[in-house]
Chains A and B, each alone.
Chain A
Amino acid sequence: MRHVYMDANATTPLLPEVVEAMHPYWIEFFGNASSIHLPGQHARRGVERAREAVAELFGCREAEVVFNSGGTEGDNTALFGLLKPGDHLITTAIEHSAILQSAARLAERGVEVTYLAPEASGLIAPEAVREALQPNTKLISVMLANNETGVLQPVNEIGQIAAEAGAFFHIDAVQGAGKIRIDVQEIGCHLLSISAHKVYGPKGIGALYVKRGTPVESLIVGGSHERRRRAGTENVAGIVGLGKAAELALKSLEDGTMDRVAELRDRLEQEILQLPGTGLNGTATRAANTTNIWFDNLEGEALVIAMDLKGIAVSGGSACLSGRTEPSHVLLAMGVNEKRARTSLRFSLLKTVTAEDVDYVVSVVPQAVERLRAVSPVEAGTLG
């Protein structure tokens, strides 16, 4: 059976070059990057080379890159590290839980929070941000690309608004990084979070861009690592992996790889949308690899299972261990009704996707959809 992984927004495999780059840092260059001796210097060199690569991806100075454990930590640091009781936060209803749950916790502690709703297209209107501004607005936090629809948010305009208002601006770029060019200078943001495992790097490592002079407090306190902005002995191999992944991400943006992904995504989308009773969620400009499609008259969960049994990995809502599938808060915020949100599937393509992968998926989907729709409820037993 052919196996096609179309859940890149959940996580990605490491590219062979990334594994290769990390390899010497497990045994050969095992040193503590803070040590004075040669083994320590080897480790330090790995960390700093990676920092250069990430700075290149962000378009920032090396000193402005802080390594951490991933996107959730970056998001948490931005919010908890800046906001105090009485401050106002503007964020959106379509952020990742790492933002939404942090905001909810801060709201309990006296931070005012405004959640902006997206337009039906999935886009956050810059004007909505402007209208939400208050004298005490300290931080605006908006994602670069939405994880479920791929919709790209107008961060340049929002950066402009933040600058005019004198507010800090954080971007959750976990899903945007590697899919669209980032330039923190041009955007004018103060903070920006990424995660390595969404860009073909290892899990458990990420980076936060902190613009020089931004008074963000460290979440994790201890030694003086990362210029006192993130304590804890550096995950050297992970950092090296992130560095290589960042370098390759930049390359993919420049050599046409992501354009090819977009073409394949478009073909996949067009073929599936030819099925009756289907439609697209998120019609605004999107990241190259994501499409989110609703299928009427079937159980979305069953479609995920049926496709998995055919070797195709896609995702419905976010499921927990108990299998409970919550309708996507992103789709609900866009005004999609609950029933339709529950029958929506996200296809997110790897940058290594092939035309044959797309051919296979478009050959399986119609059959699976047809069968699911044919299943009428089995006659129930006597009601007690």
Chain B
Amino acid sequence: MQKETIAVAMSGGVDSSTVAALLAREELDVVGLTLQLWDQSRLAGKHGIPEAPKAGRCCSLDDVYDARRVAETLGIPYYVVNQEERFEKDVVRPFVDEYLAGRTPIPCSLCNNHLKFDQLLKTARSIGASKIATGHYAVNEYDPARGRWILKRPTDRAKDQTYFLFGLTQEQLAHTLFPLGHMHKPEVREAARERGLALAEKPDSQEICFIPGGDYKQFLTAYLEEQNETMPETAGELVTTTGEVIGRHEGITGFTVGQRKGLKISSPTPFYVLNIDPASHQVTVGGDADLATRELRAGKVNWISIPKLTGQMRVQIKIRHRHEPAWATLIPAENGEVRAEFDEPQRAVTPGQSAVFYDGDEVVGGGWIL
């Protein structure tokens, strides 16, 4: 019988390299694929963007070298699939547009939802692979009782990446393996060391792959300049919750709900950004207590553990990657949107970020905060 072929998405980091090593050991044909998404040299050195990309990000060519070396060590075929054009169209441009509109988007979720898994599965199928495997920390299991693929939080809670995976469809989950779901990071590094992978000690990546240095504003400035576009004029008023104008700002771009720095308001108590109105360019500010809200609305919702939300449901909601999930009641709303009422007020519910709903360890679904 022919062996099953698995395509491993290799980023050149420890996690995905270890996945390749673990699978190559088994009775499987493993093919390594790297999606090359962004040319790190493209904006290097412009407007303060670092000249040389640091190691450990998924779009640097150094990482392609690393991934290729791992594939050589493991003796598996390896290919780079260039998706720079699609990445720019589906991730970078929407990110830029969202940001200019005063929201704070998460490009990693955009990429996972809209490009990475779709493209990997497409390429995998083209070359005769039945499934893909990635180095994400998440658990993906089929529940015959419900007839659904269930995404769950991983054993290593500190590395939990389910927040970025809420957009996966049942079709995608059915063909995806997360072999690290039940491993702790130190075990992963140990496994890499055991298999003689030179990059076992490589640092984890934290930054957004196309924004070396992590400065969004630098990136926007350099990107818009490259595109021969100018930063839209969005200067406007700073107002309080009662509508009193207490100052001006130079542009809504760069403000994030919950932000304290950079407001240039002299006051004995700190002010925070509460709301950004992209139409009037008004930025509403207030005290810490004003930041807390009991409610959120989310759109473009994807359901994982349930086919759809038919009535109220008790869940825990994560509104940021590093947020401790908070108890809330989900209520269906029109247009596929959903409303959530938190038991306790939550600080800085930020439009553009995603809200991911959990039932214990299971991901119920998630959507984009409106």
Contact = CB atoms under 8 A, between A and B. Distances in A.
Contacts of B17: none
A381 B167 contact: yes
Interface stretch (B80-88, B148-156, B192-200): B80-88
Interface in B78-104: 79-82, 84, 94, 98
B114 A305 contact: no
Interface string A367-382: 0000110010111111
Given A324-B36, A382-B167, A371 B77 contact: no
A384 B300 contact: yes
Contacts of A298: 126
Contact of B367 (A325, A371, A382): A382
B31 A309 contact: yes
A36 interface: no
Given A301-B81, A309-B31, A322-B36, A380 B118 contact: yes
Given A302-B127, A306-B128, A323 B118 contact: no
B260 interface: no
Contact of B112 (A301, A381, A383): A381
A170 to B, nearest CB: 34
Given A299-B126, A302-B123, A382-B302, A321 B113 contact: no
Interface residues of B, number: 42
A308 interface: yes
A371 B84 CA distance: 25
Contacts of B125: 371, 375, 378
B64 A321 contact: yes
Q: Which of A302, A303, A378 has the most CB of B within 10 A?
A: A378
B209 interface: no
A18 B128 CA distance: 39
Nearest to A308: B77
B97 to A, nearest CB: 11
Contact of A379 (B36, B126, B171, B300): B171
B134 to A, nearest CB: 14
A321 B61 CA distance: 8
B171 A384 contact: no
Given A305-B127, A308-B77, A378-B171, A384 B368 contact: yes
Interface in B37-70: 39, 61, 64
B34 interface: yes
A27 to B, nearest CB: 31
Q: Which of B36, B125, B127, B300 has the most CB of A within 10 A?
A: B127
Contact of B172 (A305, A321, A372, A379): A379
Given A378-B122, A382-B300, A384-B114, A306 B127 contact: yes
Interface string A342-384: 0000000000000000000000000000011001011111111
Interface in A234-285: none
Given A299-B126, A377-B122, A382-B300, A323 B172 contact: no
B109 A384 contact: yes
B82 A375 contact: no
Q: Which bracket fits the contact residues of A?
A: 20 to 34
A61 B125 CA distance: 57
Nearest to B302: A382
Main secondary structure of the interface of A (DSSP, over half): loop
Contacts of B64: 321-323
Contacts of A379: 118, 169, 171-172
A384 B84 contact: no
Contacts of A324: 36, 82, 84
Interface in B166-206: 167-169, 171-172, 175
A303 B79 CA distance: 12
Nearest to A372: B126
B110 interface: yes
B121 A378 contact: yes
A322 B31 contact: no
B105 interface: yes
A384 B103 CA distance: 12
Contact of A309 (B77, B84, B354): B77
A305 B120 CA distance: 14
Contacts of B219: none
Contacts of B271: none
Contact of B34 (A299, A301, A323): A323
A357 to B, nearest CB: 20
Contacts of B123: 299, 302, 305
Contacts of A309: 31, 77, 127-128
A306 B114 CA distance: 24
Contacts of B34: 323
B223 interface: no
A301 B125 CA distance: 13
A380 B119 CA distance: 9
A323 B300 contact: no
Contacts of A302: 123, 126-127
A135 to B, nearest CB: 40
Contacts of B128: 306, 309, 371
A318 B127 CA distance: 20
Nearest to B110: A384
Contacts of B98: 384
A321 B122 contact: no
Nearest to A299: B126
A380 B167 CA distance: 9
B117 interface: yes
Contacts of B84: 322, 324
Given A321-B80, A322-B39, A382-B301, A306 B126 contact: yes
A380 B77 CA distance: 27
A30 B108 CA distance: 58
Given A301-B82, A321-B80, A380-B114, 17 more contacts: A303-B126, A322-B39, A322-B80, A371-B125, A375-B122, A378-B118, A378-B121, A378-B171, A378-B175, A381-B117, A381-B168, A381-B169, A381-B172, A382-B113, A382-B367, A384-B94, A384-B300
List of 4 A-B pairs having minimum Cβ-Cβ separation, nearest first: A323-B80, A381-B167, A381-B113, A302-B126
Interface of A: 298-299, 301-303, 305-306, 308-309, 321-325, 371-372, 375, 377-384
5 contacts: A303-B126, A322-B80, A375-B125, A382-B301, A384-B300
